[in-house]
Structure 1
Amino acid sequence: MSTKFDAIILGGGAAGLFCAAVAGQRGKRVLVLERGEKVGKKILISGGGRCNFTNIGAGPANYLSANPHFAKSALSRYTAADFVALVEKHDIAWHEKTLGQLFCDGSARQIVDMLLDECAAGPGEVVVRCEEEIASVTNDIGGFVVTTQHEAFTSRQCVIATGGPSIPKMGASDFAYHLARQFGLKIVEPRPALVPLTLGGEEVLFRELSGVAADVEAIAGKTRFKEAALFTHRGLSGPAILQISSYWQHGEPVAIRFLADRPAGWLLETKRSAPSLRLRGILRDALPARLADVLADQIGIETDLGNVSDKAIRQAEERLANWQFHPNGSEGFAKAEVTAGGISTAELSSKTMEAKRVPGLFVIGEAVDVTGWLGGYNFQWAWASAHAAAQAP
């Protein structure tokens, strides 16, 4: 077998496999090099093993980037509906959970198998090789030379699809950034995203609620998410916290709005209509008892509402609507579902994902400074950015 290819894709994850499949169906000879023992490892663990493969509402507003407009082109040219059509073409049953999240009815393995089937379906040729450690990547007028521990391969094009350093136990690394720097591409400082936050100091008492969850609104700056929050033995987690973690800046507070569906003035109205009720009982009716007791203890109102001043009632309601937590950090890349930051979009064409200063070099997926919300958005970016790169001549 010749070692010469039209394109070499570094990384056999979601973006890499889909890029290979689309390029192969356009008649190209493609090599996928994967460091791990198998491809698609993050796909297999996603969504509790059922793969939250896209989100029907995916659009540019659901992504963080130093350039919030960058993702528009790729996302508009390959949509969630396009990927759903592919899933249905392969007779994979799926269902929608909350907030537009789509999952396989069966196993995430179906998505990996579908991508491999798509790789095999085209007029071109897609070669997938696992357990390949990349020793070097060089380029000259003739193209790229990628050397592994086994041999050297040449190609006109090279695609960086090795992701970011989140979940290192799955083989993730910062290889993409080292390669980008080698080629003179700028990096937006990578940081853990969709990650649990840790608490210390006086807030350590909330760790005693480990395992307790409640629907809340989490707020950081001007950004807010209404979903469940989970107290852990280290701090805060759950969908609302994972979402807000991507926007949280170290040293800033995270505000939690408990009883987020209650209208303004609800507690004062309760005092008027049922003055014999007590705050602790009201909270216990609406929240898990352990959480209700901690909140009630912190607020300190123990008598009937009818015996409490309107000012104290308003202050209690305001605190429940804006409970300030001061995270001392996060659980880091080890527990982060994705990486925020990455290879700067200023270096790339939004249409093709090609590096402006290095013809033939492309960057797709999580390696790029485009980070989606929790709920299938990062997979949709993987599909869309991969599709954009695969369309390049």
Structure 2
Amino acid sequence: MNNQIIIIGGGASALMLASLLPKNSATIIESNAKAGAKILVSGGGKCNITNTLMGTEYFLGDKNFVEQPLRKFNEKALLRWLERQNLHPVLRKETQYFCKDSAKELLEIFLKESRKQKVCLNEHVLEVTKRDDIFYVKTNKKTYTAKAVVVASGGLSYPKLGASSIGYEIAESFGHTIVKTAPALVGFTVQKEQFFFKELSGVSTEVKIRVGDNVCVGALLFAHKGMSGPAVLDASLYWEKGKIEIDFLPGFSWKNVEGSKKQISSLLTMPKRVTKAFLLQLSLEDKPYHQLTVKERETLQTLSHYSFAPAGTFGYSKAEVTKGGVATSEIDGSTMMSQEEEGLYFIGEVLDVTGRLGGYNFQWAFSSAYSCAKSLSSRHA
């Protein structure tokens, strides 16, 4: 065997793993013409790498499982590693670390580091089998053999960047359970009653969104398909179906405006265009607040707890990540190795672990890759 380890996928987790493994120990098999395509488009091309606020509470998934890789390789360890590669992320939005100029900075480091390994591009993995402790990885070009296989193929989001279900298919073929997948960190489409949102396309307002016990705070962006923006993307992580509640006036006190003679459109903290659209929808006249009847006030105050059910999401083509995936109850959280098959590993987005907006999914990719690298290095030294 030329290489002992096959890495399926060429995204963030795969490239980090290749960087951490000993030279000439692995082969990366990537379906795209270039590795790291998704890195380049993340964070508006700036790549939100990690966050100073790091913990299991920012992830959807089994907390005990998520904690193990995060503890071994946290955001501080990641920043130290990047600085050794001469990349110095900058702090923006108070807690989020981004590439200084563009995501190319991070990708160039990974491409340089991954040259230590063999990289096969434009090659699609068709299946993985195992006989006599040897894995056989069949692609559209040839069959590779290896002592260990790492599935780092990501999820289903961004199909135009080569996303596929191969990671889930491999997992199932070795007896793994796949937790139902869905688009996440994605905008919501709306029901007929909220079609007026589309007329506000391009307008943004600060909100607080409640999905079950989860609260997401930030901007809501009205879009031609419905609604998007950071708070909405975070909310999509927790939403499956049914109602969500939006406070369109976070921090606003109705008590403090009792008796106000200001026009409603001047009084409320939303953009006037948004306020007027809601007034029309609620069949309320834009008049001085003190002139409202008790019933009209009650109607207006629903803007602090506006409840409705989204029709759905914008789908995988617009989703930043995929939630669901390989069940973590069947994976060793300290090594990322399958508990069903010796020598088979899963890292990154293919697992049933999804972070909120703000660098959490990249941190998960890198932390899970680190745990995997440590295990592989000790087993195949």
What TM-score results when the alignment is normalised by the length of structure 1?
0.91
- How far is the alpha carbon of 1:311 from its aligned partner? 6.0
C-alpha separation between the residues in 2 aligned to 1:253 and 1:195? 16
Please give the secondary structure, in 1, of the residue aligned with 2:148.
Answer: strand
**Cα deviation code 1:208-245 (max 9, x no counterpart):** 11111111111111111110001111111000000001
Structure 2 residue aligned with 1:373: 356
Structure 2: gaps of 5 or more residues:
none
C-alpha separation between the residues in 2 aligned to 1:191 and 1:99? 30
- How far is the alpha carbon of 1:359 from its aligned partner? 0.1
Please give the secondary structure, in 2, of the residue aligned with 1:346.
Answer: helix
Structure 1 residue aligned with 2:337: 354
What amino acid is aligned across from residue 109 of structure 2 in structure 1?
A: M
Asked if 1:254 is matched to 2:226, the reply is no
Asked if 1:42 is matched to 2:25, the reply is no
Could you tell me which of 260, 267, 270 is aligned with 2:254? 267
- How far is the alpha carbon of 1:20 from its aligned partner? 1.5
Please give the secondary structure, in 1, of the residue aligned with 2:4.
Answer: strand
Structure 2 residue aligned with 1:6: 4
C-alpha separation between the residues in 1 aligned to 2:285 and 2:354? 43
Indicate conservation of the 8 Å contact 1:267/1:313, yes or no. Answer: no
C-alpha separation between the residues in 2 aligned to 1:329 and 1:99? 31
- How far is the alpha carbon of 1:88 from its aligned partner? 1.5
- How far is the alpha carbon of 1:186 from its aligned partner? 0.6
Structure 2 residue aligned with 1:231: 222
Could you tell me which of 103, 112, 116 is aligned with 1:108? 103
- How far is the alpha carbon of 1:315 from its aligned partner? 4.8
What amino acid is aligned across from residue 4 of structure 2 in structure 1?
A: D
Q: Give the fraction of aligned pairs with identical amino acids, expressed as a percent.
A: 35
C-alpha separation between the residues in 2 aligned to 1:248 and 1:206? 19
Structure 2 residue aligned with 1:280: 265
Structure 1 residue aligned with 2:309: 326
C-alpha separation between the residues in 2 aligned to 1:135 and 1:321? 51
Please give the secondary structure, in 1, of the residue aligned with 2:238.
Answer: coil
Structure 2 residue aligned with 1:88: 83
Aligned length: 375
Structure 1 residue aligned with 2:159: 168
Q: Call closer, same or farther: CA 1:134–1:304 in 2, change over 3 Å.
A: closer
C-alpha separation between the residues in 2 aligned to 1:9 and 1:140? 18
Asked if 1:214 is matched to 2:197, the reply is no
Structure 2 residue aligned with 1:61: 57
**Which stretch of structure 1 is more off in the superposition, 189-198 or 301-310?**
301-310
What amino acid is aligned across from residue 276 of structure 2 in structure 1?
A: D
- How far is the alpha carbon of 1:310 from its aligned partner? 5.1
**Cα deviation code 1:254-313 (max 9, x no counterpart):** 211112022xxx2343233x3x22212213xx2222101012223415443333345643
C-alpha separation between the residues in 1 aligned to 2:191 and 2:296? 28
Could you tell me which of 144, 150, 174 is aligned with 2:141? 150
C-alpha separation between the residues in 2 aligned to 1:57 and 1:335? 26
Could you tell me which of 259, 272, 292 is aligned with 1:289? 272
**Which stretch of structure 1 is more off in the superposition, 3-12 or 158-167?**
3-12
Structure 1: gaps of 5 or more residues:
none
Asked if 1:390 is matched to 2:357, the reply is no
C-alpha separation between the residues in 1 aligned to 2:93 and 2:181? 29
What amino acid is aligned across from residue 258 of structure 1 in structure 2?
A: F
**Which stretch of structure 1 is more off in the superposition, 195-204 or 340-349?**
195-204
Structure 2 residue aligned with 1:345: 328
What amino acid is aligned across from residue 16 of structure 1 in structure 2?
A: A
C-alpha separation between the residues in 1 aligned to 2:126 and 2:290? 74
Indicate conservation of the 8 Å contact 1:268/1:313, yes or no. Answer: no
- How far is the alpha carbon of 1:149 from its aligned partner? 2.8
C-alpha separation between the residues in 1 aligned to 2:191 and 2:221? 16
C-alpha separation between the residues in 2 aligned to 1:330 and 1:355? 32
Please give the secondary structure, in 2, of the residue aligned with 1:333.
Answer: coil
